[in-house]
Amino acid sequence: SFCGVNGEKALEPGRDIVWELDGRKTYAITWDLLCEREYLGTLLSSSYFVGSLVALLTCSTLYDKFGRLRVAQIAQLGTMVLTAMLAVPYDIWYFMAIRCLSGGFLFATITGYHVLTVEFLPTKWKGAGMTLVMSQWVGGNLSLVLI
């Protein structure tokens, strides 16, 4: 096996296995996310949802205090900045923190615009408006996968 369980000899990254693309190593190799540090890869995924959970618990207070539109716009700007920062992760802990913040800011953006859509559109247009807001979010996530 890769990590050498059950008495097997472990494969050594860089010697037995080389994961490179045009001379660049993958983050799994660069940040040593293999074997005993494999749990850090799972934490990277979870950090995004931790940020979303914190935003879930705090957004309604922020919306009521500062206004939905203002909070959603600030959150959208924050999401754009954090997404740009994610393009050049230099450390796993930096990447994890930015993903956590990104999850929170994106959640604040989506929920803010979603609530504004429900509040201000005429009844007959609410379904279409909410579908449009959510399709933009889904489209943005799909475009990230395709890039």
- What's the pTM value of the predicted model, to 2 decimals? 0.69
Tally the C-alpha atoms within 13 A of residue 83's C-alpha that lie toward its C-beta: 11
78 against 139, higher pLDDT = 78
| pLDDT-derived band at 1, boundaries 50, 70, 90 | very low
**Contact present, 110 and 138 (Cβ < 8 Å):** no
| pLDDT-derived band at 91, boundaries 50, 70, 90 | confident
22: alpha, beta or left, given left = phi > 0 and alpha = psi -120 to 50?
Answer: left
DSSP 82-129: HHHHHTS--SHHHHHHHHHHHHHHHHHHHHHHHHHHHHHS-GGGHHHH
| pLDDT-derived band at 98, boundaries 50, 70, 90 | very high
To which H or E segment does residue 20 belong?
Answer: strand 20-21
31 against 75, higher pLDDT = 75
Lowest mean pLDDT among 10-24, 82-96, 111-125, 129-143: 10-24
